[in-house]
Amino acid sequence: MTAADLLRADLQLVISLVPEGSRVLDLGCGDGSLMAHLRDERGCDVRGIELAPSEIAAAIGRGLSVIQGDLDAGLRGCPDHSFDVVVLSQTIQVMRNPALVLREMLRVGKRGIITFPNFGHWRVRGYLAFKGRMPVSESIPFSWYDTPNIHHTTIKDFREFVAANGGEIEQEIPLVAGEWRREIREVRVLPNLFADTAVAVVTARQ
Amino acid sequence: MSSLNDDSDCTEAAARPPASGPQLHTLSRGLDLVSGKRLDVVEVTYETWGELDAGGTNAIYICHALTGDSHVAAGPGPGGVEKPGWWEVMVGPGKAIDTRKYFVICSNVLGGCSGTTGPGSIDPATRLPYGLTFPLVTIEDMVNVQAALLDALGVDKLLAVVGGSVGGMQALAWAKEYPDRVRTCIGVATTPRLGAQAIGFNEVGRQAILADPHFCNGDYYGKAQPEKGLAIARMVGHITYLSDESMRAKFGRRLQKREEHAFDFVTEFEVESYLSYQGQKFVERFDANTYLYMTKAMDYFDLASGFDSVAEALVGTPVRFLLLTFSSDWLFPTYQTVGLLDALRKDRAQVSFAEIPSPYGHDAFLLEPEEQRRYLEPFLDRALLEASAATPVAADGDEAQ
């Protein structure tokens, strides 16, 4: 089982949350695999923003329109409400300014879909509690000094974060990798303890 | 059994797609210019590399910049003598724009001095060179000539129109004027309109030419050329194509062939020597009047002209764009391309964009082939794939059975 397979399961869920024919903006779109799925399987009109040249080139090779941009600088150039859905997948924890990114998502899109690793997961808590060291796991495979993940959050903190930035959570789907990490399943009990990942659909608070 | 030698000969022959060498086409109906004036006789010098495929889907037009010509890739030049191309790092067999895959067309622009009708051509009315009686031409006029050439070559629709700098302006003008004849537009280090800084430098170049005692109001053909003025224009131009960083790395304050200052106005610093050499080399191959006309066309160019905004000029465009800029290019700065990008995004056009980090200033489009290839190659590959899928090739008997 590789991280890429896990990501696929995660993205499959995101895909299922995007209505057919939507206008979608994928922030930190990588090589465009999610965008290509949304275009080919759900007839979406997709656009991407990405920083890394090799990823942009890969997405261009899939016939996708990708603009090089730093999300931490906001979504300047994107008109208000110009997208039905703005996706931020496994990226918020690497942002220098997550609040700006969230506010921009709510400005540009009617809905945002955010997926993030849950730092409240029992393994993470246990790692710190019993080993007394910064957690390193399969979903958070970095040491504290070289991690790109500079803004870890828990599901509970995330709720507060969205509310504090003018948004509301329309749907929250706590997930955990299944046996042998071959699939992901929804967590029904104590999500902040048992989910290692969460997907949230957010909108601007009216 | 063929020997190893034979094999390699075969491979080499296969790897070398046909190159037309310079060809001359005369427009059948002359040309009505944007200014309202008319040129009854327009000749255009062009070259092609590779072969047009059966579906006619693989044609790429490359538009040259201020001082370029039709010889974009290596191949036979005038008299059939093999000559390097001005963008051969990007165009040729196995290059980013692979002439084994694509049918590449490049022509000298209208107003040019490398075989296409321009101020140095003979005015049929007077049988003398036009000089300054040549009408001012625009980027759109240049593109109209290219479109007429395309008709003559039997190409309905381009897979891509590609250009850097002023060539990029032409590529953008193609997308605006002929949206149904180009599938994709690749603009490198270009702009939808020049800023005051670039127009200012163009004007310095023009004034240097106009002030040359040999200029004679443009009527210098067959006499002494306004070489000093043209060389100064080129020197100024060269500075604008570089960057502080690239000049520091290339020259610093080093002196040329001396240890101490001469306390005289001779060429001392390496940068002076370089600029002087570039100026001298330039006057041997370029016409001062063309420099005036080309820079004026650059200054006039505004993608929004005739509309309220660039977004409106391109509204509903079916063309897919790839726009590239270079971080140290201060002549065609990134922010200008970003303005175009925003207009295209507002319009929901298909556009990709990247800024390539480079110390080489505006010249980077000639000097950074690998970084450009990174984006161009997959972009063109995909465009060809989609174009082939969308174009039914005339059946060769399969369907007749």
pLDDT tens string A66-99:
999 999 998 988 999 999 999 999 899 999 999 9
Residues of B in contact with A65 (CB under 8 A): 320, 350-352
Percent of chain B with pLDDT over 70: 94
DSSP calls for B72-99: -SSEE-GGG-EE--TTTTTEETTSSEET
**Does B278 lie in the same domain as B218?**
yes
* Contact: A66, B352; criterion CB under 8 Å: yes
User: Does position B14 have pLDDT exceeding 60, yes or no?
Assistant: no
Least confident window among B126-130, B161-165, B254-258, B339-343: B254-258
What is the pLDDT, as a whole number, of residue B4? Answer: 44
What is the pLDDT, as a whole number, of residue B398? Answer: 46
d(CA B23, CA B47): 6
d(CA A50, CA A57): 10
The residue of chain B with its CA nearest to that of A68 is: B354
Residue B108 gets which letter from DSSP?
P
What is the pLDDT, as a whole number, of residue B397? Answer: 44
Strands B38-39 and B31-32: antiparallel
pLDDT tens string B162-215:
999 999 999 999 999 999 999 999 999 999 999 999 999 999 999 999 999 999
User: Does position A105 have pLDDT exceeding 70, yes or no?
Assistant: yes
Q: Is residue B158 within 8 Å of residue B63, measured between CB atoms?
A: no
**Does B200 lie in the same domain as B188?**
no
pLDDT confidence band for B401 (50 / 70 / 90)? very low
Report CA-CA distances (Å) from B238 to B64, B111, B165, B235, B279: 17, 21, 14, 5, 9
d(CA B24, CA B46): 6
* Contact: B374, A65; criterion CB under 8 Å: no
State pTM to two decimals. 0.93
Closest CA to B163 of B110, B112, B109: B109
A107 vs chain B: nearest CA distance in angstroms?
15
Which residue, B250, B274, B300, sits at the end of a domain? B300
What is the pLDDT, as a whole number, of residue A154? Answer: 95
Residue B244 structure tokens: 């502080």
**Does B228 lie in the same domain as B133?**
no
Percent of chain A with pLDDT over 70: 93
pLDDT tens string B254-301:
999 888 898 989 889 999 999 999 999 999 999 999 999 999 999 999
**Does B112 lie in the same domain as B253?**
no
What is the pLDDT, as a whole number, of residue A11? Answer: 82
Query: Which of A24, A67, A81, A86 would you mutate first to test chain B, the one with the most B CBs within 10 A?
Result: A67
d(CA B7, CA B30): 49
Active site residue B238: no
Report CA-CA distances (Å) from B225 to A167, B134, B212: 70, 18, 9
Residue A172 structure tokens: 């929250």
pLDDT tens string A27-43:
999 999 999 999 999 99
Least confident window among A57-61, A87-91, A137-141, B353-357: A137-141
d(CA B313, CA B293): 25
Q: Is residue A150 within 8 Å of residue A93, measured between CB atoms?
A: yes
DSSP calls for B194-219: --HHHHHHHHHHHHHHHT-TT-GGG-
What is the pLDDT, as a whole number, of residue A12? Answer: 84
CATH number of A3-204: 3.40.50.150
Residue B4 within any structural domain of the chain: no
Least confident window among A12-26, A175-189, B41-55, B208-222: A175-189
What is the pLDDT, as a whole number, of residue B100? Answer: 97
What is the pLDDT, as a whole number, of residue B162? Answer: 98
> Residue B144 maps to which CATH number?
3.40.50.1820
Candidate from B338, B346, B382 with C-beta closest to A61: B382
Residue B158 within any structural domain of the chain: yes
Task: State the sign of the Cα–Cα–Cα–Cα dihedral A185, A188, A193, A199.
Answer: positive
**Does B28 lie in the same domain as B165?**
yes
Task: For chain A, positions 16-35, list CB contacts with chain B under 8 A.
Answer: 23
What does the domain layout of chain A look like in residue ranges? 3-204
What is the pLDDT, as a whole number, of residue A136? Answer: 84
Residue B254 gets which letter from DSSP?
-
* Contact: B378, A57; criterion CB under 8 Å: yes
pLDDT tens string A153-181:
999 999 999 999 999 999 999 998 765 55
Which ipTM score applies to this complex?
0.92
Active site residue B7: no
What is the pLDDT, as a whole number, of residue A182? Answer: 62
A42 vs chain B: nearest CA distance in angstroms?
18
Inform me whether the C-beta atom of residue A65 falls under 8 Å from chain B C-beta atoms.
yes
Identify the residue with better confidence: B79 or B400: B79
DSSP calls for B307-364: SSSHHHHTTT---EEEEEEETT-SSS-HHHHHHHHHHHHHTT--EEEEEEP-SSGGGH
Residues of A in contact with B310 (CB under 8 A): none
**Does B243 lie in the same domain as B215?**
yes
**Does B318 lie in the same domain as B262?**
no
Report CA-CA distances (Å) from B90 to A84, A189, B73, B313, B377: 39, 59, 8, 30, 10
If you average pLDDT over residues B369-385, what whole number do you get?
Answer: 98
**Does B36 lie in the same domain as B179?**
yes
Inform me whether the C-beta atom of residue A61 falls under 8 Å from chain B C-beta atoms.
yes
State the count of interchain CB pairs (< 8 A) between A and B. 53
- Domain extent for B215: 194-300
If you average pLDDT over residues B318-333, what whole number do you get?
Answer: 98
pLDDT tens string B227-242:
999 999 999 999 999 9
Active site residue B362: yes
**Does B330 lie in the same domain as B265?**
no
Show contacts of A66-72: CB within 8 Å, 24+ apart. Answer: A66/A29, A66/A32, A66/B352, A67/B341, A67/B345, A67/B351, A67/B352, A67/B353, A68/B353, A68/B354, A68/B355, A71/A27, A71/A28, A71/A95, A71/A101, A71/A104, A72/A96, A72/A97, A72/A100, A72/A101
Inform me whether the C-beta atom of residue B346 falls under 8 Å from chain A C-beta atoms.
yes
Inform me whether the C-beta atom of residue B318 falls under 8 Å from chain A C-beta atoms.
no
What is the pLDDT, as a whole number, of residue A140? Answer: 73
d(CA B310, CA B68): 27
Identify the residue with better confidence: A196 or B103: B103
Task: State the sign of the Cα–Cα–Cα–Cα dihedral B92, B97, B101, B106.
Answer: negative
How many separate domains does chain B show? 2
**Does B51 lie in the same domain as B184?**
yes
User: Does position B2 have pLDDT exceeding 50, yes or no?
Assistant: no
> Residue B271 maps to which CATH number?
1.10.1740.110
**Does B333 lie in the same domain as B319?**
yes
User: Does position A3 have pLDDT exceeding 80, yes or no?
Assistant: no
User: Does position A110 have pLDDT exceeding 60, yes or no?
Assistant: yes
**Does B63 lie in the same domain as B135?**
yes
Inform me whether the C-beta atom of residue B322 falls under 8 Å from chain A C-beta atoms.
yes
What is the pLDDT, as a whole number, of residue B3? Answer: 42
d(CA B88, CA B98): 10
